[in-house]
Chain A
Amino acid sequence: DTEVTQTPKHLVMGMTNKKSLKCEQHMGHRAMYWYKQKAKKPPELMFVYSYEKLSINESVPSRFSPECPNSSLLNLHLHALQPEDSALYLCASSQDPGTSGDHGTQYFGPGTRLTVL
């Protein structure tokens, strides 16, 4: 099973709202990722959690706040977003690249399509 789930599928929010995106995997993966993707562009890495600790933050604005409550869950808290933040937000997970048989292949969820008005 290589399933990563994300909720909600679609989200429309105003610039003053606070919302959260949720990602879940039950593959025993110990690394989880948030990506932002604009139409017809490749995904851009935002954050990486490894063993539930934030290991990479790609200089993402503080209006995006990640959280990893446990090894299966990853949240992205959104506050005071801008219209240019409208995009597809993808979550991915992988085994520990140093020890896994699949060499840390990243498996993606279906994404949350976010629209900021």
Chain B
Amino acid sequence: AQTVTQSQPEMSVQEAETVTLSCTYDTSESDYYLFWYKQPPSRQMILVIRQEAYKQQNATENRFSVNFQKAAKSFSLKISDSQLGDAAMYFCAYRSLYYGNNRLAFGKGNQVVVIP
């Protein structure tokens, strides 16, 4: 089974600054998908960004970007120009490429606090 590790339970960032959340994973598969989900206090899980392992280019979505290092099995999320609305729990997740495997393996989460 794949494991996903997020090692910094809580991180603080000043508004307008940049914060980077780290995620590492363990897998023997060569193709898979990686996700970052955001869960604000309202508790709805919102997809932030998705990365396909077979793509070398790092995914970006507006102020959110990832640094995907396949050999190192690392998938960090960078939040630029942090806003108060970015305060949330962020979960890194892994999903196998193989058809029929619908499971998401989640990390334990990073709590992001944005300081005005």
Residues of A within 8 A of B (CB): 2, 31, 33, 37, 40-43, 45, 48, 50, 55-56, 88, 90, 92, 94, 97-98, 102-111, 113
State which of A41, A45, A103, A111 has its C-beta within 8 Å of the C-beta of B44: A111
| A-chain residues with CB within 8 Å of residue B101 when the two chains form the complex | 97
**CB pairs A–B below 8 angstroms (11 shown):** A40-B111, A42-B91, A42-B107, A55-B102, A88-B43, A97-B100, A97-B102, A98-B99, A98-B100, A103-B50, A108-B45
Given A41-B109, A108-B46: 14 more A-B contacts, CB < 8 Å = A33-B102, A42-B91, A43-B106, A48-B103, A50-B100, A55-B100, A55-B102, A56-B102, A56-B103, A97-B100, A98-B100, A103-B52, A108-B45, A109-B44
| B33, B45, B108 — most chain A CB neighbours (10 Å) | B45
Residues of B within 8 A of A (CB): 33, 35, 37, 42-47, 50, 52, 89, 91, 95, 99-104, 106-109, 111
| A-chain residues with CB within 8 Å of residue B106 when the two chains form the complex | 42-43
| Contact A103-B91, Cβ < 8 Å, known A56-B102, A88-B43, A109-B44 | no
State which of B45, B52, B99, B102 has its C-beta within 8 Å of the C-beta of A94: B102
